[in-house]
Amino acid sequence: MKLDRTTEQVQQDILTFSDRLHQSGCAPYSVAKYTQAYAKRHDIDISIDVTPTKIITIFEQPTQKVVMQTKAPPSVNLQTLVSTLKSLSLKPCDKNPAQYSSWVLCLANVLLPPCYLMLVGTTYFAVGISAILGLIAWLTQITFTGRRAILTEFFVALISSLLVGLLTFYVPQLPVLALCISSIVLFIPGLTVTNALASLALNDFRSGIEFMAQSTLIVIKILIGVILGLSLSSLAGDATTVPFVNEIPLSLHILALIGISVAIGIIFNASMKDIIIGLPAAAIGMWGPHWFTSDWVVGTWISTILITLYGLLAGRIRKVAALVYIIQGIIILVPGSRIIVGASESFFATAILPIPNIGLSALLMFSAIVAGQIMVYSIFGDQLLVRYKGE
């Protein structure tokens, strides 16, 4: 399909297309692939180089033109991603996809920590406290915007851990570190780390190193915030440590899984239909490592294969990017939070969850996730990836 427009207009559309994909969280190599398909659909030959913070596009005709764009680190926006990819299927592209209201986003942020705590096991009182921590996270996000946004993770971790540390003097049975983790679970860069390892595995070293550097910075800010907050609270005295207690029944685990999936979907601006379709991936991400084997590493590898296959199949049927359905499962499966768990256990010599050596197994679980994704894409990718006109 050819569009009767000037070459300059078509080139600008191509640049806008790549920008929307990049800023909606599409992986760099996927941005390049889809942009080349979009340009070919308009009979334009391009070469494109994409990293997390830069896009270089070379238009080969009618005269060679190089466009270099510096980008802010992307954030995931699934409705924008789906809407943008519709233009590859010759469907109208919604330039302004629907956004959830501030109140809905606030509710999602408040819901996320309690659901996380119920999934790992805790007390009912701790669940109630974690909702307050979710509100703190939301208020911090809307307060620290623009250039100050880089401080968001640090201040959420600092304020939440300070509050939890002070509360333990009055309520000793509180799971201190688990509450601290629940307050910043939204900011833990599990998906970014997975994309970093996937990029490195595909020999995209620049993107992989950039993603890893971003993830490392976020983890450092979170750890420093938690350590400072708990250290400041300890100045008031030493709190009593109590054994791990789980009061959450299986029925509430299931409800919490649905809650955390919906909250993640809303925060990443996925449509409600896509959130529902992604629930099976979330279930595999949560319980898969337990279902298939007693070994966390092997269970993570099998779960990753199933999540990726499900996302590819659902994406092909729905004609959208597989990321839309994979993301719920990977975020719950990826051991991003387990890095914080392991680091906190090493620093405080206190177990957060009743799982031995989980910090030491984080690297192996990361490797299992990358191995599972590469295996699926290499064997089934050509058959299951969505095909668009022009590819």
Residue 3 pLDDT? 42
In whole angstroms, how far apart are CA 215 and each of 86, 187, 211, 312, 336? 30, 10, 6, 26, 10
Q: Is the pLDDT of residue 274 over 90?
A: no
Q: CB–CB of 46/61 below 8 Å?
A: no
Amino acid letter, 58: I
> For residue range 32-55, what is the model confidence (pLDDT) as tens digits?
888 888 888 888 888 898 888 889
- Rounded Cα distance between 61 and 65, Å, is 8
| Tokens describing residue 385 | 């990836």
**Do 225 and 163 form a contact (C-beta atoms < 8 A)?**
no
Q: Which whole number is the average pLDDT over 249-257?
A: 84
State the DSSP H helix or E strand holding residue 66, giving kind and residue range, or none if neither: strand 65-70
Q: Identify any residues that bridge with 58 across adjacent strands, giving them in sequence order.
A: 47, 66
In this model, does residue 133 exceed pLDDT 90? yes
Q: What is the pLDDT of residues 288-304, one digit of tens each?
A: 877 877 777 788 888 88
- Which of residues 127 and 215 earns the better pLDDT score? 127
Alpha-helix residue ranges (DSSP H) falling in 86-123? 102-120
pLDDT at res. 241: 59
| Closest C-alpha to 226, from 169, 159, 308 | 159
| Angstrom distance (rounded) from CA 207 to CA 213 | 10
